[in-house]
Amino acid sequence: MAEAEIGNRESRWSLQGMTALVTGGTKGIGYAVVEELASLGASVHTCSRDEAQLNVCLHEWKTKGFRVTGSVCDVASQAQREELISTVSSLFNGKLNILINNVGTNTPKQTIEYTVEDFSFLMCTNLESAYHMCQLAYPLLKASRVGSIVFVSSVAGVVGLTLPVSIYAAAKGGLNQLAKNLACEWAKDNIRSNSIAPWVIKTRLAETLKGTKPLKPHKE
């Protein structure tokens, strides 16, 4: 790509002066999102359950000149979600432009093998946490006057699959519908809401699907 084209891209998509929170930003899709936002000039905060991994990533981003901060947080915990938003509010002076609900997990099993505990854990991590994060972040997004929420959903939440991921799929489908409703409800507050639905990406989460072929989506 020519230097002029790179310059034009950066000019069109500059996020200078913008703030962002990316949940689960130390690996996979989340890591790439943090780097993209930071490279476009945004000040980014991210979180991870793994403090050691978080510190490694923060060091990498610092050497690249990115404005990225981080804190330890398990988004499956209500108390830790509240603490995370409190930290973000303090860092960004009560305002937030971008919320990326990226955290997700999966435990592939046949539907009849899932337990009540499995259901609770997967729904909490994939759907409930994102819902609550939006509630907590709402005042900050509204205060910024230019707010944007992005949910990292999945193809599994859009079409039927032969993979043993029924709970994961239900949760991701819930994210898609949540994005639609918030887009309508919070439009008056200048808060946009969108979901993206990737297919299998080569990340650690994808490793859990090994040996569960075929990977053909089935439309209803």
CA 3 to CA 104: how far, in whole Å? 37
The one catalytic residue among 114, 131, 138, 168: 168
- For 7, 161, 162, 168, 193, the CA distances from 165, given in Å and listed in that order, are 43, 8, 8, 5, 25
What ranges do the domains of the chain cover? 13-218
- Give the pTM: 0.88
Encode pLDDT of 102-117 as tens digits. Answer: 999 999 999 999 999 9
Mean pLDDT of the chain: 90
- Domain 13-218 indexed as CATH 3.40.50.720: yes
Widest CA span in the chain: 57
200: pLDDT strictly greater than 80: no
- Going by the DSSP 8-state scheme, the letter that residue 19 receives in this structure is E
For residue 56, the tally of other CB atoms under 10 A from its CB is: 12
pLDDT-derived band at 214 (thresholds 50, 70, 90) equals very low
Encode pLDDT of 35-74 as tens digits. Answer: 999 999 999 999 999 999 999 999 999 999 999 999 999 9
13: pLDDT strictly greater than 90: no
Class of residue 121 by CB neighbours under 10 A (exposed 0-12, middle 13-18, buried 19+): middle
Dihedral of the CA atoms 35, 36, 42, 48 (nearest 10)?
-40
Residue 168 among the catalytic residues: yes
